[in-house]
Amino acid sequence: MVVVAIGAALAACEEPTSSPDVERAAAAVFEAFDAMDAEGVQSARAGLEAAVPCLGGVLTPSGAARLHIARGMSEFASRNAPAARAHFAAARRIDPDVGLPGVVAEGNPMWKDFRATDLDALPTETLGAPADGVLVLDGRPSNERAPALPVVLQIVDESGTARLSALVEAGATPPAYALRPPTRERRSASTPLWVGAASSAALALGFGGLSAWSYGDYDAADPGSWTDGKRTRTNAFAGAAYGTGAVAAGLGVAAVVVRGKL
C-alpha cells in the first residue's frame, strides 16, 4: 500500500482545488454508478483522487466522507469487499450518521459492507505534530488516525492554506513531514534538587530536636553520671543538624539556579 499523492506537488497543479470540487467529483462517481457505467465509475474516481493533492484549503469533513463513500462504491463495483468496507468505515468514522447516496437503495448488498466494520474495535495511532501549521485528518484538526482505514491528511498553515494534502491508503505510512520538536520540561531538572533540599531540611529539624533533647538530658544529669557520653551525643546531634541544614540550603540554592537557567 502506498500514499496516493502528496500535496507538496501543489506546484504541479494547474490551479488549486477546493472542498466543493472534491464533492462534485464524488457526485460524478455516484452518477456513473447509478448509470451502471463501470468505466465511468473508475474514470470519475481517478478525477476525484487527482483533486486531493491540489487542495488549496481544508477539505471539509462532509467532503472527506463523500470522498470515502465514492471510493468505497468504486471498490464495491470492482468486487473488492475488504477495500470497500475500509472506505465506508472511514466515512462512518467521520460521521456515524452518514449513509450511502440515494442511488443505492436500502436493501442493496452494498449496505451490508457499508455497516460491516466495528468502528470501536479499530486500533488507532497518534501522529506527530508538524513543525509548522496544523495537522488535519479528514477535515478535522487531529493527530489520531486508524491505520486500518484510508484518510485524507493535510497540513494547514495559519492562513488556512493547505501546504500538504495526501490521500493515504489503509495500512500505508503517511507522507514524511517536519515534526515539531518535543516541548522541554522547564523545571524537571530542578525537581530532584528541591526534593533533596526538602529531605535535608527535614533531617536537620529532626537532628535539631534530638540535640535539644540530649542537651536537656545532659544539663540535668547528676554529678558523676555519664556526662562525657551525653555531651558527645549532644554535640553529635548538633553537628548533624548543622550539617544537614547546610546541605538543605545548598541544594535549595542550586535548585533556584538550575530553574533560572531553564
CB 142 within 8 A of CB 129: no
Mean pLDDT of 190-218: 55
8-60 pLDDT, tens digit per residue, is 455 578 899 999 999 999 999 999 999 999 999 999 999 999 999 999 999 99
**pLDDT given for residue 14 in this prediction:** 86
Higher pLDDT, 240 or 88: 88
Evaluate if residue 99 carries a pLDDT over 90.
Answer: yes
- Over pLDDT 90: what percentage of the chain? 62
Would you state the cell numbers that stand for residue 143, as one nine-digit string?
493527530
The DSSP result for 190-222, as a single string, is THHHHHHHHHHHHHHHHHHHHHHHHHHHHHTPP
Residue 97 has pLDDT above 90, yes or no: yes
Distance, in Å, from the CA atom of 243 to the CA atom of 172, rounded to the nearest integer, reads 62
3-state secondary structure of 139: coil
Q: Are strands 162-168 and 140-141 parallel, antiparallel or unpaired?
A: unpaired
Residue 57: partners with Cβ closer than 8 Å, 6 or more residues away: 16, 18, 19, 156, 160, 161, 162
Of 150, 159, 153, 131, the closest CA to residue 141 belongs to 153
Cα 107 from Cα 34, distance rounded (Å): 15
Examine the pLDDT at 63 and tell me if it is beyond 80. yes
pTM more than 0.95: no
